[in-house]
Each structure stands twice: as structure tokens, then as C-alpha cells.
Amino acid sequence: MSNRMTATRWHIKRLNVRAKAADRAGRHTVGLGANSAFTLMEVVVSLVILGISLGGILTLYLQLAWRADWSSYSVSAEMMALGGLEQCRAAKYDPHGSPPIDALVSTNFPSRVDILDPGSVNGVSAYGTNTTTILTISTNPPLKLVRVDCTWTYPGRGVYTNSVFTYRAANQ
């Protein structure tokens, strides 16, 4: 029994010496081996950093999705405005012809409301309004300014306008 007690005391002394040496070296020991673990504070800090990172990534993703949806509306409105401009280009404008023809006047192109086709996933129908303005810049040589504005609304964000314009000479 005495031999056993002495061996146990010797073993405990040896563990204490190891623990003191490890503590001086900056390592923590638990029990008989040199096992280390994370403290509660380290776990909490790492979870906070993870939460902030995931929150930033989610915010960035949502902003990207909103921007892509807005861009699809804008491109659709731009195509609608270009369609109105092409209608103006197709109008006959020949002031020097026999007989002179000038079908390129604003009254021939009334405001037109049409459905935009943005391909949006939210399923909301959006409408755009084409307004055509035609101004005579010069009579000699004959030159006109054709401008088409497409006004549209993005849900929850406001009203936007896409504009295209060109100059049109006779017989072009």
C-alpha cells in the first residue's frame, strides 16, 4: 500500500511539473495529456464573425437580384422606345417629291401604352408609355429631330424614363 501511495504522489508531482512547464511555454494542459480546446468566448466571436459574413453575402445577393430585375425593366422600356423610333423612321418624309409628302409629324404618332415584357419572376405586369416628339430643325436642307420617351414604373421604386432620339433627313 505504501509503495502504491508513493507512486501516486510521484505521478502527481510529475504532472504538476509538466503543467507548470506547459504554462510557461504558453500551452494549456488538461488532465494527463496536452489536450487543448476552444473557450466559450472564442466560439462566440467566431459565430459573430460568421453571422456578419453571411449577412453581408445575403444582402449582396438580394441587391444583385433587385438590380438585375430593374435592368430587365429598363431594357424592355428601351426596346419599346426603339420600336417607336423605328415607326417614325418608316414614315414617309419627302418634302421635295412630287407631290411633297410629310408623314413625319407628331400627330401621326400619339402616345401609346403597352405592356413591357421584362421577363420578371414576380409576375407583375408593367406598362410603358411611348411619347413621340418631332421637331423641325431646318427646312433647307430638310432636317427633323425625332425623340421617343418611354415612361415606366418600377414596382415600389418610382417612375423612370428611357429616351432615344435621332435626326431624320428627307428620303432616309
pLDDT in tens, 47-82: 999 999 999 999 999 999 889 888 988 999 999 999
Check if the beta carbon of residue 148 is closer than 8 Å to that of residue 132: yes
pLDDT computed for residue 69 by the predictor = 86
CA atoms of 46 and 94, how far apart (whole Å): 75
pTM confidence score? 0.67
- Does the structure show a pLDDT above 90 at 37? no
Q: Quick one: cell of 36?
A: 487543448
- Does the structure show a pLDDT above 60 at 29? no
pLDDT computed for residue 121 by the predictor = 64
Of 7-16, 36-45, 106-115, 160-169, the range with the lowest mean pLDDT is 7-16
- Does the structure show a pLDDT above 70 at 44? yes
Q: Which residue has the higher pLDDT, 18 or 166?
A: 166
- Show the 3-state SS of the chain: CHHHHHHHHHHHHHHHHHHHHHHHHCCCCECCEECCCCCHHHHHHHHHHHHHHHHHHHHHHHHHHHHHHHHHHHHHHHHHHHHHHHHHHHCCEECCCCCCEECCCHHHCCCEEEEECCCCCCCCCEEEEEEEEEEEEEECCEEEEEEEEEEEEECCCEEEEEEEEEEEECCC
CA atoms of 132 and 105, how far apart (whole Å): 9
- Does the structure show a pLDDT above 90 at 143? yes
Band (95; pLDDT cuts 50, 70, 90): confident
